[in-house]
Structure 1
Amino acid sequence: MFIFLYTLLLFHQLHTKAGNTLCRIMGDPQYPLFSKDGDLTIGGLFPVHSIETLPSFDFTQKPQLISCSSVNLRDYRLAQIMIFAIEEINRSESLLPNVSIGYRIYDSCGSRLSTMSATMGLMNSQEFGAGYRCNGQSTLHAIIGESESTATVILSRTTGPFKIPVISHSASCECLSNRKDYPSFFRTMASDYHQSRALASIVKDLGWSWVGAVNSDNEYGNYGMTIFLKIAQEMGICVEYSVKFYRTEPEKLKKVIDTIKKSTAKVIIAFISLPEMGLLTDQLSIQNITGFQMIGVKSWITVKSLITSNSYRVLGGSLGFAVKKINVEGFADYILKEFWNTAFPCSQTKGNFSQYALSCSRYEELLLLKNYNEDVPEQRYASYVYKAVYAVAHSLHILLKCKEKEGCEKGLTIQPQQIVEALKQVNFIIKMGDRVWFDSTGGAEAQYDIINWQQDSDGSIQFKSVGYYDASLPPHQRLVFNTENIIWAGGQLEKPRSVCSESCPPGTRKAAQKGRPVCCYDCIPCAEGEISNETDSNNCKQCPREYWPNAEKNKCVLKAIEYLLFTEVMGIVLVFFSLFGVGLTALVAILFYRKKNTPIIKANNSELSFLLLFSLTLCFLCSLTFIGRPTEWSCMLRHTAFGITFVLCISCVLGKTIVVLMAFKATLPGSNIMKWFGPKQQRLSVLVFTLVQVLICVLWLTISPPFPHKNMNYYKEKVILECSLGSTISFWAVLSYIGLLAVFCFILAFLARTLPDNFNEAKFITFSMLIFCAVWITFIPAYVSYPGKFTVAVEIFAILASSFGLLFCIFAPKCYIILFKPEENTKQNMMGKTTYNYC
């Protein structure tokens, strides 16, 4: 509290304009870690130490200054690279010639309180002369730092009113892109917007849809995770949990550990600052929580201090983004030689050390690193500090109107706002070949290496680059990596799976589980008539009308077309019986022709018998037109041929029935009725009856003829190719006419049933008509009931059954007499002189 009040008081004094107020420091001043005087001064702020020890605030004695310990090697190197760059510029004859740059580098100790204190120390001088009056101007021209976004926010908000430019090398919070709140802030790296988008892209490309998320509870973690969650949602990535903690909140860390233990996601997005990552790794290692694939960010993914024998069990195989690696030429040699002689107070007896009355015990931890430079190749942020120092130098070069031979105008007064404007215009190339410039938000282009934690054969841990992300490229080319070179969590060579629900195969669709994220779903088979031909389809698609899903429901195939084939069993049987009927009828016709002069043939009107046999042959043959693929001609032929041939057949039977009746009447005394129904009249009656049916068929074909039709309504999975009737009235008119003739013939035959046995053909006609009518009456409901080819088969069966009925009932008795009872085939028997019982 004392330190905070102290810094506020200093801030108030600094803010006081020139006047009667004298500047004086209350309390002990805070001295820089490294400093050097120069014509121009650049400040630096780095968390060189990571552990802060607060003094006692019991108010019984004056509080001591904050004590810091535990060297943060990465940021210690950043302080060294800043000094290296400044010394390099001071030796340059082309950049700021004859002008020396000094520096004051403070240790922020990795805490918000120390950051504020160090910021105030930077903005104030350490000593004031007697009667020194405040002028409201800082002796600093620019500040390089801070390393963390939260500390940089504190730094930028504090220096903002004085318009002192702050150039950070690693503060990447998107919040700092707000030029309204941070008009004097710049950074030599990109904001976390790009890193968050890169994280979502790599998760999406690796096929992970179910992840956990942990972030630091500070500006860096909160802003970065917010952007990631938004982009992840847009990309269809589900986050099982999103938790956060800060380094000083052990209870929240415990909740984070418990959440990870209970989770099912195998991938963890760790948008965490370095101190929090160290704490999280320790706890995961202590509780032996392993097997999770860590996806990291630039703040920790290449930090060697995280590597321990225990931590590798947790972080082995980690994948993440690191800033682009650029080696600064000459830096490794500098930190072993020149740095300790020029910048380090305790390595010499004169200079800063005696001036600030410092105890060398303050630098004991740093002295241990005097001959250590093994970590230099992995110092990825070194080039970004290097760029920041050179950016300030180039802006000062412009403002001082420097010329190579004449030098710079040292007498010019440079206001901080002028440096801010000059920084917006800098555009140069450093000696490593990279171009330095700032966009409208004060940031730089996003370029990341994709790093994978791998263990070499000797057991050492290496940060292997397995790809890159470059935001300057087109969207589909930004992310490039090779999965074959990646070692996954637990040292596995196979990529881990992290999904809430397994992928739904083609033929199914995703159905969201109530109350759970969209990545948690059930796989539901597509409904009847629908398919899905992609994995994880949200919806099934309806097949076109003539198509139907295959068995797997992943493809629409043409529906099976059904019609009565000649080659199928049913078709073969029906063809056989049709041809058998034709053959049998032909044999009867041959037999009748050979016996045409015998009494039994003559007595039964041989002309009508031959015509009846011919019509029966046509009836048998017309059934063949119903078999095979329906065409326009076959549809018209099958119905009209059936109607006409059957009317011809019934007309012949009707003629024979009338002949039998007339013959009986003619035997009565005084009757000459036969002259009215002789052969000519018989032929004429058959012709007239048949012409009526022909007329009906002609009208049918003219008005609305039958045509082939694809019936897709009866069966969903197949198409019935059938002959549509066209005019239904015409079809039933044809059947009705046949039925009318058949009934009339049946009545006449029934009336003649009592005739003498000599003329017993009337009994057979009656029986044949009874069979005929029974067949066709049964046919009607069967015709309506059976679908597709069965309808056609029923119709053919009716045709064949009625045809065989007529053939057997009318001709079988006569053939029996001709073949087996020739003694009855005499005129005397036909005239009734002899009585035979052949029924």
Structure 2
Amino acid sequence: MLIDELVSVPKNYQFLLALVFAVAEINENPAILPNASLGFHILNSYYLTKITYKATLNLLSTQQRFLPNFNCDIKNHPIAVIGGHVCETSIDIATILSIYNIPQFTFGSFSQVQGRGMLFPSLYQMVPDEVYQYKGVVRLLQHFRWTWIGLVATDDDNGDQFLQTVVPLLAQNRICYSFILKTPNRTFMDYFINLLLKFQTQYPILTESKANAYFVYGTPPTLHLLNMLLSAAEKVSAPLPGKVWIVTSHWDFESLSVQAVWPIETFHGALSFAVHSNQPPGFQKFLEIIRPSWVGGDGFIQDFWEQAFSCSMKMSNEHEESKTICTGEEKLESLPGVLFEMTMTGHSYNVYNAVYAVAHALHNIRIATSKHRRLLGGARQEIHIIQPWQLHHFLRNIYFNNSAGDIIHFNENGELVEGFDVINWVTFPNGSLIRLKVGGLDPEAPQGQELTLSDDHIVWHRHFNQVLPLSLCSDNCRPGYSKKKREGEKFCCYDCVPCPERMVSEQNDMDACNKCPEDFYPSYRQDQCNPKVVSYLSYKESLGTILAILAICFAMVTAFVLQTFMKHQNTPIVKANNRSLSYILLIALLLCFLCSLLFIGQPGKMTCLLQQTSFGITFCVALSSVLAKTITVVLAFMATKPGSMMRKWMGERLAHSIVFSCSLIQTCICTFWLNTSPPFPDKDMHSLNEKIIMKCNEGSAAMFYCVMIYLGFLAIISLTVAFFARKLPDSFNEAKFITFSMLVFCSVWLSFVPTYLSTKGKSMVAVEIFSILASTTGLLGFIFFPKCYIIILRPEMNKKEQLLKQKK
């Protein structure tokens, strides 16, 4: 087994300890590989390709003899390889191991490689593909509504591939980048000054950007170098304001020794997608007993101990005389987090699970082989005869629970089916740090539910005073406004403009304002749609109640007048000017008052059919009766002349014919109207902004105007005839009263037209009801109240002698 990049960085020593801990657990567990023990061999690649190749070929050679492809040592035959920590090392190892079909487990992130399945068929990834992390970062940016970010990537092929993947992904999700800063992959300290001078020219990009969220890609060495460059630049230039650093699972805070601990306060409050980890029982106690004298075969512990505690294990080296002597009793828990952590990190957890995956695969092979041998009656097959390529079938189908309770299995692409933890890094000036798990990323969750976050548990950089940072090119457009793109800038940079009239935007940063549904209307601030109130003239409101009471009262007065006339039907004043016409007119006026009630209340199918037609017909009967009365007065005067031919036209037949024929025409118009395009209940959504007007739609506007024009025609004819007959001698001068009543009638309806057309909703209905009541009251008052005055209050004038006296 191969573990790479171990003690060059003290923190990576935990990878080795996780391997040792897992192997020890398995060897002590009688349920896994009974009567067999696992062994391991560890080599360091130091991040160098040539050393990685050499270390890999060493595994394929006989120990102590570098003869690749020649291994006669059966006991040290490698069955699987675990490595590496970074993608480049993993690819270097896989290039050789894929020839031999030896299973390889990468415990660090592995970049997307075109045709990986064919190039490296024996590769198993303990970390899901990096693309899942990029999508998780996009979800995180959307969660906090950060649309203006900075991108930092290593200046190499992996960094270029990262940018090629991330930039389109950000654009698809309406997120822009303020800048792209490329950092060196790794360097020697000889070149650090040159790098710092170059970085100094780029440093203002970080300090002056409005973006508060930076998405960073890079391996631990490059991130360590970035920290060094930032710390050095801050001492020369202005300090970097607080930012939110968002990183992938590559990220880790590490240092080479206690003396080389660089300040990490810049990254306080950073968020990272870390490989999911759990704490196997007993691992922390295992770390607490680690000492340099613990294992004689550990060739790495001395180097680790000296770097971690800045002391020397030996006094033979003159250069180390200035260092303190290691006692060997130093405790790992006393080290700052940048050097060593007592909890199992995500990469160490992957090493732990990789060892168990190999052990379970070997265990399953032994079970399958023993069953097969028993069936054949043969001897027991020993585990050392198992070839590495035989593990692939069992690894692809492996499924088990580890000691921490997590399920371990691989998908069809050889990737561990696992999510990521969202880690919030809390740092301290002495190099200590705390990993706060504040959420998770599940690649197998439904669309839009992959990311879970506990916002209240996140610790932000001290610059933000624990207030959610904003990372925007432009301030949010509040509801009631929409975005207007700035010319020549990215779509995340915009101005806010108010919504047009009758349009709203209900959320922040709306690209465009929307119209409200028909039954809603925009609020005063145009930030929401409020439901419209249904409006109609109701009996429950004061205006409807008053008009209804007036209509009923006038109807009762009309009924009283009719009753009075019928009671005194044989008196001269009732007989004068056609008694039957007076009855018809009073009944028509009574119905006119009552038909106004049809306009009050919620319009229904039947009320809409009766409203205009009953109004048109009853008013037509009333006007026809008035016209007949007027014509009767004129004919009566003309008949009194000697030799007049008008005597034969006198009588009730002519009056009834006028009323019948005039009313018949209106009835035919209304009947045709009802048969062709009758009125119906309708909703007017647009006339009033905040209300839905319930009304009766005329159906055919032409027929409605025909009814009204015909009534106007009758009114004008009646007024004209009455006007010319107003001075004719008459017992009670009825022509004069008819003239006054028709003047009132015509005045009311002439003023009705502009008023009706200029009002909306229930006011329009109220205007029509008022016009009906006013015009009908005018007819009733001027024609019948003088006669009622004489009948009731001056009965002495209601005599034949008085009638003859008035004629003389």
TM-score norm. by structure 1 comes to 0.70
Shift of 1:677: 1.4
Aligned to 2:242: 291
Aligned to 2:776: 803
Amino acid at match of 2:10: L
* Gap change, CA 1:253 and 1:664, over 3 Å in 2: same
Matched, 1:638 2:611: yes
Bigger mean CA offset, 156-165 vs 294-303: 156-165
Structure whose CA Rg is larger: 1
Amino acid at match of 1:215: A
Aligned to 2:424: 452
Shift of 1:468: 4.9
Matched, 1:74 2:11: yes
* Gap change, CA 1:459 and 1:125, over 3 Å in 2: closer
Q: State the Cα deviation string for residues 289-339 of structure 1 (Å, max 9, x = none).
A: 242222334444354769999734212233324442556585664542244
Q: What are the equivalent positions in structure 2 for 1:194-273 lying under 5 Å apart?
A: 194-205=132-143, 208-218=146-156, 221-223=159-161, 227-229=165-167, 232=170, 237-246=175-184, 247-248=186-187, 249-250=195-196, 253-254=199-200, 257-273=203-219
Aligned to 1:11: none
Matched, 1:621 2:594: yes
Q: State the Cα deviation string for residues 369-423 of structure 1 (Å, max 9, x = none).
A: 9554513624634565567678889999999x999x999799x9x9xxx646656
Shift of 1:245: 0.8
Q: What is the percent sequence identity of the aligned residues?
A: 33
* Gap change, CA 1:121 and 1:459, over 3 Å in 2: closer
Mapped to 2, the partners of 1:345 and 1:694 lie a distance apart of 113
Aligned to 1:150: 88
Q: What are the equivalent positions in structure 2 for 1:786-797 lying under 5 Å apart?
A: 786-797=759-770
Shift of 1:73: 0.9
* Gap change, CA 1:509 and 1:424, over 3 Å in 2: farther
Conserved in 1, the CA contact under 8 Å of 2:635 and 2:650? Answer: yes
Amino acid at match of 1:48: V
Amino acid at match of 1:150: E
Conserved in 1, the CA contact under 8 Å of 2:122 and 2:392? Answer: no
Mapped to 1, the partners of 2:414 and 2:25 lie a distance apart of 25
Aligned to 1:301: 252
* Gap change, CA 1:807 and 1:447, over 3 Å in 2: closer
Mapped to 1, the partners of 2:798 and 2:383 lie a distance apart of 151
Aligned to 2:223: 277
Aligned to 1:336: 292
Q: What are the equivalent positions in structure 2 for 1:670-709 lying under 5 Å apart?
A: 674=647, 676-679=649-652, 682-683=655-656, 685-687=658-660, 689-691=662-664, 693-694=666-667, 696-698=669-671, 700-701=673-674, 704-709=677-682
Aligned to 1:61: none
Mapped to 1, the partners of 2:356 and 2:671 lie a distance apart of 103
Aligned to 1:316: 268
Q: State the Cα deviation string for residues 595-654 of structure 1 (Å, max 9, x = none).
A: 777765555555544554444343333333333333333334333433343343334333
Matched, 1:377 2:323: no
Mapped to 1, the partners of 2:7 and 2:286 lie a distance apart of 22
Conserved in 2, the CA contact under 8 Å of 1:626 and 1:796? Answer: yes
* Gap change, CA 1:503 and 1:722, over 3 Å in 2: same
Q: Secondary structure at the match of 1:241?
A: strand
Q: State the Cα deviation string for residues 57-106 of structure 1 (Å, max 9, x = none).
A: xxxxxxxxxxxxxxx21245556777898999999999899999795745
Mapped to 1, the partners of 2:675 and 2:155 lie a distance apart of 88
Shift of 1:261: 1.2
* Gap change, CA 1:795 and 1:334, over 3 Å in 2: closer
Mapped to 2, the partners of 1:394 and 1:814 lie a distance apart of 118
Q: Secondary structure at the match of 1:272?
A: coil
Conserved in 1, the CA contact under 8 Å of 2:555 and 2:594? Answer: yes
Aligned to 1:462: 434
Matched, 1:192 2:130: yes
Mapped to 2, the partners of 1:738 and 1:135 lie a distance apart of 116
Mapped to 1, the partners of 2:801 and 2:38 lie a distance apart of 156
Matched, 1:648 2:585: no
Q: Secondary structure at the match of 1:762?
A: helix
Conserved in 2, the CA contact under 8 Å of 1:336 and 1:372? Answer: no
Mapped to 2, the partners of 1:269 and 1:593 lie a distance apart of 99
Mapped to 2, the partners of 1:718 and 1:396 lie a distance apart of 77
Shift of 1:732: 4.9
Aligned to 1:486: 458
Amino acid at match of 2:292: L
Amino acid at match of 2:217: F
Bigger mean CA offset, 239-248 vs 526-535: 526-535
In structure 2, stretches of 5+ residues that fail to align are 188-194, 304-315, 333-339, 374-378
Mapped to 1, the partners of 2:550 and 2:28 lie a distance apart of 115
Shift of 1:457: 13
Amino acid at match of 1:337: S
Mapped to 1, the partners of 2:127 and 2:638 lie a distance apart of 125
Amino acid at match of 1:294: W
Aligned to 1:46: 5
Q: State the Cα deviation string for residues 656-675 of structure 1 (Å, max 9, x = none).
A: 33443344344434568546
Aligned to 1:170: 108
* Gap change, CA 1:206 and 1:592, over 3 Å in 2: closer
Amino acid at match of 2:7: V
Aligned to 2:308: none
Q: State the Cα deviation string for residues 179-200 of structure 1 (Å, max 9, x = none).
A: 4444565565555344444444
Shift of 1:725: 3.6
Mapped to 2, the partners of 1:363 and 1:138 lie a distance apart of 40
Bigger mean CA offset, 264-273 vs 151-160: 151-160
* Gap change, CA 1:153 and 1:363, over 3 Å in 2: farther
Mapped to 2, the partners of 1:626 and 1:720 lie a distance apart of 13
Q: What are the equivalent positions in structure 2 for 1:424-573 lying under 5 Å apart?
A: 444-446=416-418, 448-454=420-426, 461-469=433-441, 482-490=454-462, 493-500=466-473, 519-520=492-493, 543-549=516-522, 559-568=532-541, 570-571=543-544
CA RMSD of aligned residues (A): 5.6
Conserved in 1, the CA contact under 8 Å of 2:101 and 2:388? Answer: no
Amino acid at match of 2:597: L
Mapped to 2, the partners of 1:306 and 1:290 lie a distance apart of 28
In structure 1, stretches of 5+ residues that fail to align are 1-41, 50-71, 348-358
Bigger mean CA offset, 579-588 vs 702-711: 579-588
Shift of 1:780: 5.2
Shift of 1:214: 2.0
Q: State the Cα deviation string for residues 407-456 of structure 1 (Å, max 9, x = none).
A: 9799x9x9xxx646656755698996788887666654445444333369
Amino acid at match of 1:649: A
Mapped to 1, the partners of 2:581 and 2:753 lie a distance apart of 29
Conserved in 1, the CA contact under 8 Å of 2:402 and 2:408? Answer: no
Conserved in 1, the CA contact under 8 Å of 2:83 and 2:105? Answer: yes
Conserved in 2, the CA contact under 8 Å of 1:346 and 1:360? Answer: no
Q: Secondary structure at the match of 1:377?
A: coil
Conserved in 2, the CA contact under 8 Å of 1:176 and 1:182? Answer: no
